[in-house]
Structure 1
């Protein structure tokens, strides 16, 4: 009898354990593993001060050789794939504030538009304003560069909302000091006004080396030495 009871207790204990594990997984913040990886990287070798911090979504995540494109500029890449502006805000104390960068380059907002048909350019702007305000409170005079949402074949049907977001953010930043809005939109379009096909990888969303070469040419004049 004791043996049977012991087995039942063990089964119940295991069931409770797995339920707790599932609950913890469900409650885990999105991209927690990405942030943990950044922290581990920092614990091994913390980035130098006065570097240029790239932060945002997968267009930065996949730019793994970004340092090679800008050899004269020390760069910290903290882009994490699939993130929206609210994700960057959620982790700003982990991926922005610990560093003392001389410049912060942001690419984010595209996934916001893609996440729902209800996310308008106005909503993207409001989210960006929150991120910008938080950064300014921490770094009042640090140079901030925002790269415009890019055009891409897989999201071309969303172009109107993306262009509206770009227009609103550009207008907002025009009145801010030590801040630049850098547009990559037109440079990524062909003669017919559509995204250049061969600057993207197979998913028709993320760029290949040709696409990043376009970004390099446009962005470099705005980077701080």
Structure 2
């Protein structure tokens, strides 16, 4: 049966309209491409301390390394402990504190400033610079665990002590993070035969705030009263080895 010409033309017109793009579709903006994935967080960079580490190595080349020594490694709280040998008599101390360092920096340099000495023990202090730069308590604890693993790879039974992160007046706003990091490291230490040396508690006043009289003018680094507390906490552990 033949369709009337008018009906045939109507069918063809409808078919053309259904296949042609609509005005709205033709004028629509192109689809927005998916946003690129955020770049991975950059790995911590310890290269800024290369000159400090090279200076330690130059000193080693001139001075006979002392067998049975205790290596003090970490940040400026050790670097500025100029009375270390007098405060801890009978302890052969190698001070490898370098200002501004973070926990992960000593992980990076452990094979150069700890392992070569084959020390009798290691005393470690760092963490407040990490928290100041925005690292989390869990990251600080994880980095310290990596340090212990690194130094014990060379000496499996090496005694290691962590000096708790101190409460500094200028960084009192970080006290919650300091407490959290100390608690995580204390828990880790108990499971790994690592000593946790608590200097945090005796450096607080009755209101739970940092004791101003223990610090120099910058309210970050300690005076002799502050170091006297550290001596009273670290000394008994060393003498008990």
Same fold (TM over 0.5): yes
- Provide Cα deviations, 1:187-217, integer angstroms capped at 9, x if missing partner: 0011221111111011100001110001001
**Offset of 1:222 from its aligned partner?**
0.2
CA contact (8 A) 2:46 2:108 kept: no
Correspondence for 2:164: 148
The gaps in structure 2 that reach 5 residues or longer are: 1-44
Q: Which one of the candidate residues 30, 43, 52 is aligned to 1:34?
A: 52
**Offset of 1:218 from its aligned partner?**
1.2
Residue 190, structure 1, aligned to residue 213, structure 2: no
3-state SS in 2 of match to 1:50: coil
In our comparison, the structure showing a higher alpha carbon Rg is: 2
Correspondence for 1:139: 155
Q: Tell me, in whole angstroms, the C-alpha distance in 2 between the residues paired with 1:61 and 1:168.
A: 25
The gaps in structure 1 that reach 5 residues or longer are: 1-26
CA contact (8 A) 2:77 2:125 kept: yes
- 1:63-78, aligned counterparts within 5 Å? 63-78=81-96
- 1:118-129, aligned counterparts within 5 Å? 119-129=135-145
- 1:15-26, aligned counterparts within 5 Å? none
**Offset of 1:47 from its aligned partner?**
2.4
**Offset of 1:28 from its aligned partner?**
9.1
Q: Which one of the candidate residues 90, 105, 127 is aligned to 1:87?
A: 105
Correspondence for 2:38: none
**Offset of 1:85 from its aligned partner?**
1.2
- Provide Cα deviations, 1:74-110, integer angstroms capped at 9, x if missing partner: 1000010100011111111110111111110000111
Correspondence for 1:113: 131
Distance change >3 Å, CA 28–CA 176, structure 1 → 2: closer
Q: Which has the higher contact order (CA 8 A, sep 6+)?
A: 1
Q: Tell me, in whole angstroms, the C-alpha distance in 2 between the residues paired with 1:102 and 1:28.
A: 26
After TM superposition, the score normalised by the length of structure 1 is 0.84
CA contact (8 A) 1:47 1:76 kept: no
Correspondence for 1:47: 65
3-state SS in 1 of match to 2:124: strand
Distance change >3 Å, CA 28–CA 182, structure 1 → 2: closer
After TM superposition, the score normalised by the length of structure 2 is 0.79
Q: Which one of the candidate residues 163, 171, 177 is aligned to 2:179?
A: 163
Q: Tell me, in whole angstroms, the C-alpha distance in 1 between the residues paired with 2:155 and 2:210.
A: 36
